[in-house]
A = this chain, B = another copy of it.
Amino acid sequence: MPASSNKSRRHRKSVMQPTIADVALEAQVSAITVSRVINSTGAVRPATRERVEAAIDKVGYVRNMLAGSLASASSRFIAVIVPSLSNIVFIEVISGLQSEFEKQGYQILLANTDYNLDRECQLVRTFLGWSPSAVVITGLRHNAACQRILEEWDGPIAEIMELGDAIDLNIGLDHQAAGRRMARYLLEKKHRNIVYVAAQIEQDYRAGLRYEGHKAELEAVGLKAPLLDMDQLGQFETGARSLDIVLADYPDATAIHFANDDLATGALLLAQRQGIRVPETIAIAGFNGLPIGQHVTPPLTTIISPRQTIGRATAEQVIARIEGRHLQNNQTDVGFEMSIGDSA
């Protein structure tokens, strides 16, 4: 099944892929009719459609999305930018995005910033080169250049995970409120010396927002809100190390409010190994509601962040925006939910 147009003086791969021109020739129609069959746009008589479909099979046509996207100025790409792929939280969001977008025939372009805003800017630039139908980006904080680029770009932009002053769409939860909520719970449990433990809080500034809420709640009743910021990213090991540090450096502490469940789980498992009683000796609280938290002993007291929901809601709204449908609201608070275990 050789391709038709061979008059070109131009190179090409040895074996040229068939194009719609080849299909058109085979089906005895014009190229645009083939295009209409492929895209289900415009009217095509059933008999013609069948002929074209047969021809597609016969010549082994594989559609060239690049050409189509260029010609129609619409790529059906969704640029998705997250800070990290090693954090399950973002994976679940991506998973939610993916499943919704795929249904509608959109393809995700994925990249992670490693929590680096300059890298984020670079990625935004690169991705915009692919003429995406929309941009989904984590967080509301970008560097100046990135902010300007995004503001000037005229497709839909969804800033996710946290709530605030967004460029376009905004789907997420109120991290300060979440921090306050957990702090309030710990206060209700009569804790008066609570250490907040985070990992690289400067970069993971949403953990910082939760700390602000936590701090505000404690200071409102005249308590101090010590912060322990670990210099490694939040995984089990870091959580375990932080427990040691807290027990040594904050002898009065009766509870630790961890910035996330990874840290909290790491601490909880260490406590278990070392026979440190939780919550009697030290109470432990986390954030995210990861599955592992419900399987450790005691089950982790945490706040469940609706990650899949963020992904799905974002996809829905972005698609609505792409298709020009009007949205009532640019901001969606997906909320959060306390999950009370026995660890605090």
Contacts and interface: CB of A to CB of B under 8 A. Distances in A.
Interface of A: 12-13, 15, 60, 62-67, 69-70, 73, 75, 85-86, 88, 91-92, 94-95, 98, 102, 107-112, 125-126, 128-131, 152, 154, 235-237, 240, 265-266, 269-270, 272-273, 291-292, 294-297
Stoichiometry, as copies per complex, reads 2
B85 A88 contact: no
A66 B107 CA distance: 14
Contacts of A266: 295
B130 A66 contact: yes
Contact of A12 (B63, B73, B108, B129): B73
Contact of A91 (B13, B86, B240, B296): B86
Contacts of A98: 85, 110-112
Nearest to A70: B66
Contacts of A95: 85-86
A212 to B, nearest CB: 30
A76 to B, nearest CB: 10
A256 B207 CA distance: 39
A110 B111 contact: no
Contacts of A237: 291, 295
Contact of A269 (B65, B102, B295): B295
A292 B265 CA distance: 9
Contact of A131 (B64, B129, B152): B64
